[in-house]
Structure 1
Amino acid sequence: MTRLSVNINKIATLRNARGGNNPDVLKTALDCERFGAQGITVHPRPDERHIRYADVTTLKDHVTTEFNIEGYPDERYMKLVRETKPAQATLVPDAPDAITSNAGWDTLRNASLLTEIIAELKSQGVRVSVFVDPSPKMVEGAARVGADRVELYTEPYAHEYKVNRDVAIKPYVESGRVAHEAGLGLNAGHDLDLDNLRFLAQNLPHLDEVSIGHALICDALYFGLENTIQLYLKQLKM
């Protein structure tokens, strides 16, 4: 079964909007685990507009499922990963002012940078996933630079799914096949929701993990967090 990692950035966004500690990011993470999530994902950004670097340190001491830290591998990110040693580091090519991730790495053009960073992270005992567009060439490039996994950027899939889901899934099927043949683990994330998740999972037989935040937290406003996590897990059961 594909594992569900809950991205709790939006919980921190809500907390930061008012100040104080409501909602409590740590409590939410532990509740997500208690309700069935198999991982917790965070993506700290330099301006700390949602998850703060101090949150990451606190979470590492309490999260018992898989802990995944996403981010652009600048020195502050690398220092954070060295100190917390999460189960997984997901490298994302975001500009510091990006609202959200909007493209994957060009693993060919950035091969030298990624090779060096991945080697350092793996020396710390951290599994490394590289965020890529659904392109076999970018997947192959990720394998060559030493990545353990790739995370397929699924916003294009989510957009096209509403128009023609069979067309939407094709590049992901091919990229997933290439990843598996290259010995890479396979993750996916961005704009996945209760409408499009099952079809993605059904067509990617080697999908290890999905990371879902925005849609899941929005759904939780209506269905409650525990029920929402169960709904997402149900979509992943084949």
Structure 2
Amino acid sequence: MSGKQVIYKPFEWERLRIASQFNAQLMDHLRSFVKAGISTEEINQIVHDYTVSHGHTPATLGYMGFPKSCCISINEVVCHGIPDETVLNEGDIVNVDITSIVDGWYGDQSETFLIGHVSEEARKLVQVTFDSLFLAINAIRPGSSVIEIGEVIYNYATELGYGVVRQYQGHGIGREFHTDPGIPHYPVSGSERDLLMPGMCFTIEPMLNAGTWKTVEDRSDGWTVRTKDNKLSAQFEHTILMTEEGPEILTLTEKGPQPGHQF
């Protein structure tokens, strides 16, 4: 985190939109490839080639030593999965998290994909995670406090029996990958003082687990995070710009799930 909240001026909003719209376009490009039989490394290569061929930069490549151009997290992996030779199988759920740098501006989003026919448990987890993201977006307005996001997601998810991951959160974004404010997905004391004012750009990216909220980082690679009980985890993420009229979702895709989608 940069240590201070950034308020972008209206003339900068278009730069945020352009970066985020490219990122959404990349997500749509990936859709037809994310299916049983493909390896996560092959998906990573598609992300890399598409981004670079358009003159842009994959933000995760080399970020704090991360070795790949996207994060791909399967089943019990919560986040920061490193693409490798692992092949997607029928019944998996897989989160693809992509961030692009376009002319010095960042766009960031993730989706959880259902690979073929998945269990009812997996489908419901993905649905609740998706719905929790849009409940949070719809709950905020100019001057809302960050804690309102955490309250909405936490109350909705825990009532349905899901664990809300606490170790990882959303964040301010724009000219930098991560800035203040942090956006926890559960109510954190102090986050009621962080107000979402017009010109602020940030991500909301709830991670919900089928069991405990607790997670474990893989010490062998320093990145991969799994649920502590090895139960399933799902995540959705959008980049949001707060305007005078309310939150504008910058990373909406044309071909992906829209608000209200049923998996």
> Which is richer in strand?
2
| TM-score of the superposed pair, with normalisation by structure 2 | 0.26
Answer 1 or 2: higher relative contact order, Cα 8 Å, separation at least 6.
2
